[in-house]
Structure formats: C-alpha cells, structure tokens
Amino acid sequence: MNQTPAPAAQRVFRRRSPYLLTESTYGTAIELLASAVITAGPIAMVIGIAGGGSAPAEQLAARLGVPVSHVSARHNSSDALYVQATGTVTVTASDGFPDALDGRVVLVDDICGTGATFTAVTDALADRLAPDAHVSTVALCRNVGSPTRPNWWAWDVDDWVVFPWEPHPDTTLRPLPSPERILTP
C-alpha cells in the first residue's frame, strides 16, 4: 500500500525486565476492550494490524459480531528485545481486503509504541474510506514514550512486552497485572 515515515518519538524501555502478558490477563483485557468499544456506537469492521494485532482483532471482532480483515504494517528491523523502530512503516493489505470502508472502522494492534503504525495504516486506508467512515484505534498496551494515545488501551508500559502468541525470551519476565479499567485519551 505505502511507506510512511514514523514520528521522531522513541519507545521507552526501562530494561528492568520485559513484561509478560499472560493468557488469562489477555482474556480479561479483550473483554474490557470489547465492552468499551461497543459503548461508543455501532462498528462496521475490525482491522487487525499484523503481526501483533491479528489475534486481538480476531477476538474483538468475534465478541462484537462484526467482520475482521487484516493489514500488515512493519517498522521494526527485528523481533529482538529493545529494538527501536526504524522510522519507516510499510503497510500492505491482505488478499480480499475491502475496496471501500463505511461506518466505524476499528484498527487493532498489540502495542502503540510511537503511534507510527496507527498513523501509517490510517493514511494507507484513506482512499478506501467512505465520506461517513470513522477510524478508531485499540491497542492492548501503549508505551509511555508514545505521543499518540489510541482511543482505547489496557496498559501504559515502560518496557518491552511479550505477548501470548510470541516466543518467551530466555530472561526473567514480569507479569502485567490484570486490568481493572480501559484507558482512554
């Protein structure tokens, strides 16, 4: 679809030890996020930003009873711990991605590190959005270094996060606490 330069923001990594999002805590966050998103009004579609946003997008769409599609957006040079973003986000739509998007579209990612991915995907979808379309954003986590705040997220984090679908690194991990509420701007 396109490449968009990322903002100059840098993710914060305190390097105490990475956070671990456990399956049960992840399930709680998905339930809370789904409840928060649905209270804002009808949703036409959920779009998962692959790789990390795919699983939460599938689960949110299932709970909300709406279709899901996926885009790929990448700007990390590797999946190694503590790697800063490269500054360029490449966005590619999956096969069968809709040509036109109406209503409220919810973009989902695992983490809002700097906001560059949400910005790049929103920009890449601009020519597919109907005049009445509205884009909302959901992330499981938001890095405290990000100037961007999604519409909804479960945790502010100041270190690397290991998600349930990722391999666990050979290091001590700190479990994220179960969220009690969803954060909003």
CA dihedral 90, 95, 101, 106 (to 10 degrees): -60
In the prediction, which pLDDT does 88 show? 78
Report domain extents, the chain.
Answer: 13-76+89-175
In the prediction, which pLDDT does 81 show? 76
In the prediction, which pLDDT does 7 show? 47
In the prediction, which pLDDT does 6 show? 46
In the prediction, which pLDDT does 86 show? 67
- Enter the tokens of residue 177: 């606490």
In the prediction, which pLDDT does 11 show? 82
In the prediction, which pLDDT does 29 show? 98
The CATH number, out of the four listed (3.40.50.2020, 3.20.20.70, 3.90.1200.10, 1.10.3730.10), of the domain defined by the range 13-76+89-175 = 3.40.50.2020
Q: Any alpha helices (H) in the chain, and if so which ranges?
A: 23-39, 54-64, 116-125
Which stretches in the chain have pLDDT values below 70? 1-8, 76-78, 86-87
In the prediction, which pLDDT does 96 show? 82
